[in-house]
Amino acid sequence: MMRKPAALTVAKVFDTFRIIAKESGKDSQEKKKNHIKSLLVAATGCEPQYLIRLLQAKLRIGYAEQTLLAALGQAAVYTENHSKPPPHVSSPLEEAAKIVKQVYSVIPVYDKIIAALLRDGIWNLTKTCSFTIGIPVGPMLAKPTKGVSEIIEKFQNMVYTCEYKYDGERAQIYYMQDGSIEIYSRNAERNTGKYPDVAVAVSRLKKPSVTSFVLDCEIVAYDREKKRILPFQILSTRARKNVAVSDIKVDVCIYAFDILYCNGQSLIKEQLKGLDGRRELAYRKKIGRSNKKRRLFETLVT
């Protein structure tokens, strides 16, 4: 090199990582490589080691995410501003950790949570930092059990609802006010380019009175001739991005089992049961299962 590159800074590394993440389209892999090369060339001492481990997502420092969220809540309690808890809170540190974890499950973006904490404090966080359409929600995942008997014993004398375990891919479908559609995986990865046929179907079948919604679904491969669900191995053969509708060889159908948002209103805190509960609303989005000649789902009704 003709001259020594400028020393790396945290801001420089962070900005470059963000650029790498956003690169897409033609020659995107080559562009990503060049960005990584520029970082490695400027790195000194042990910096290359940490850059590589960060890129591989293998940097482990001994703190789980739940620990970090709890620490954020407790730090907010100890700050000079907004530190006085409400009268009903008996254990401020525990309650603060609980609030941050709850908010993070709804809007998992540290930038927004920390900004809200600094601006309005921990005790107003659920109001100032809430569900935002377009930002994927942390999914409610399954808990392993030893068998059906354990489930029945756990839910004795309780009302509960069940759903088939579909051999597909979890998806959150977002229909925004501007008419745009985004589809996210259980890991908050953007899958819109993988399922253009789903986006087309949602736009076509949506009722005119619906301006926005978020559906929690399972996307499964489907044989339309034999009217049966196909295994996940078939679904996994679809291309992962930039899929053209005309090139699709594996059809899919959607099983909607929860509705999180509708016409500008968050439904996350609404009850699952009841005629107007989220569960009932989600099922009313489907066309009756007994009518096999029609599509397996219908998008939203008001």
| Digit-coded pLDDT (tens) for 171-184 | 999 999 999 999 99
In a domain, 274, yes or no: yes
Both 89 and 46 in a single domain? no
In whole angstroms, give the CA distance from residue 215 to residue 279. Answer: 11
Query: Are 142 and 134 in contact, with CB atoms under 8 Å apart?
Result: no
In whole angstroms, give the CA distance from residue 265 to residue 79. Answer: 33
* Annotation marks residue 292 as catalytic: no
At residue 141, the pLDDT reads 72
- Dump pLDDT digits (tens) for 269-286: 877 765 456 666 655 544
Q: Would you place residue 195 in the very low, low, confident or very high pLDDT band (cuts 50, 70, 90)?
A: very high
Both 123 and 195 in a single domain? no
The residue range of the domain holding 16 is 10-56
At residue 271, the pLDDT reads 76
Both 232 and 204 in a single domain? yes
Both 48 and 115 in a single domain? no
% of the chain surpassing 90 pLDDT: 48
Compute the average pLDDT of residues 59-82.
82
At residue 191, the pLDDT reads 92
Compute the average pLDDT of residues 17-46.
92
Q: What is the largest CA-CA distance in the chain?
A: 76
Both 114 and 228 in a single domain? no
In whole angstroms, give the CA distance from residue 64 to residue 110. Answer: 15
How far is C-alpha 74 from the geometric centre of its chain's CA atoms?
25
Q: What's the mean per-residue pLDDT of the chain?
A: 84
Both 70 and 47 in a single domain? no
In a domain, 248, yes or no: yes
3: how many CB neighbours lie within 10 A of its CB? 5
More confident residue, 84 or 169: 169
> Is residue 222 pLDDT above 80, yes or no?
yes
229: how many CB neighbours lie within 10 A of its CB? 20
Compute the average pLDDT of residues 52-65.
75
Both 36 and 113 in a single domain? no
At residue 253, the pLDDT reads 92
In a domain, 177, yes or no: yes
In a domain, 150, yes or no: no
At residue 95, the pLDDT reads 95
At residue 145, the pLDDT reads 84
Say which CATH number the domain at 276 has. 3.30.470.30
In a domain, 293, yes or no: yes
Both 47 and 78 in a single domain? no
Query: Are 171 and 218 in contact, with CB atoms under 8 Å apart?
Result: yes
From 75, 96, 128, the end of a domain falls on 128
In a domain, 272, yes or no: yes
In a domain, 149, yes or no: no
At residue 241, the pLDDT reads 82
| b/e per residue 61-79 (b: at least 16 CB within 10 A) | eeeeeeeebbebbbebbee
> Is residue 302 pLDDT above 80, yes or no?
no
CA atoms within a 13 Å half-sphere pointing along the CA-CB vector of 3: 3
Both 279 and 188 in a single domain? yes
Provide the 8-state DSSP code for 273. Answer: S
In whole angstroms, give the CA distance from residue 119 to residue 161. Answer: 40
Helices (H), 43-147: 47-55, 65-78, 92-106, 110-120, 125-128
Task: Quote the number of domains for the chain.
Answer: 3
Joined tokens for residue 179: 């008419």
In whole angstroms, give the CA distance from residue 144 to residue 162. Answer: 15
Point out which residues pair with 221 in neighbouring strands. 252
Q: Which of 26, 165, 249, 292 is catalytic?
A: 165
Q: Would you place residue 24 in the very low, low, confident or very high pLDDT band (cuts 50, 70, 90)?
A: confident
Q: Would you place residue 259 in the very low, low, confident or very high pLDDT band (cuts 50, 70, 90)?
A: confident
Both 122 and 243 in a single domain? no
Q: Would you place residue 151 in the very low, low, confident or very high pLDDT band (cuts 50, 70, 90)?
A: confident
In a domain, 279, yes or no: yes
Both 50 and 69 in a single domain? no
At residue 284, the pLDDT reads 56
Q: What share of the chain is helix, strand, coil (3-state, %, to 5)?
A: 40, 15, 50
Compute the average pLDDT of residues 199-203.
90
Both 86 and 34 in a single domain? no
